[in-house]
Amino acid sequence: MTDANTQIKETVTANDVVLFMKGTKEMPQCGFSSKVAGVLNYMGVGYQDVNVLADDGIRQGIKDYSDWPTIPQLYVKGEFVGGCDIITEMTLSGELDTLFDDKGVSYNKEAADKIREANA
């Protein structure tokens, strides 16, 4: 499991935003992964996607690394942020914008506002 752990650590430290998901950002393979990738894509966030279905070591390893039982998992500047429910709540409350602002991650503020307007 050390190899997966090392690979995960290198990935989350080398990229500002990382989404461990089922499938890819272009073709998510579960509804929860699709929802988070959709938010990030719509907001124009540049991020690294990691398809956990392609590697069982990573699939289990990320759960152990974060001590979080589900996929997807979002990391910003090396810190675990949360899964689908948390990202959805943070998007709707504006907390995700604040996190991106605080961490220096670029995103489309107008797109974020449109998501909130559509879900108001």
Report the pLDDT value the prediction gives residue 34, as an integer from 0 to 100.
97
Q: Is residue 84 part of an annotated ligand binding site?
A: no
Please report which confidence band the pLDDT of residue 111 belongs to, taking 50, 70 and 90 as the band edges: very high
Q: Which domain holds residue 55?
A: 2-118
Number of neighbours of residue 97 by Cβ within 10 angstroms: 18
- Which residue type sits at 120? A
CATH number at residue 24: 3.40.30.10
User: Over 70: is that where the pLDDT of 23 sits?
Assistant: yes
Domain count, the chain: 1
Instruction: Report pTM.
Output: 0.95
Mean pLDDT across 10-29: 97
Cα four-point dihedral sign 61, 64, 68, 73: negative
Reference 65, options 13, 4, 18, 107; nearest CA is 4
The phi, psi pair for 95, rounded to 5°, reads -65, -30
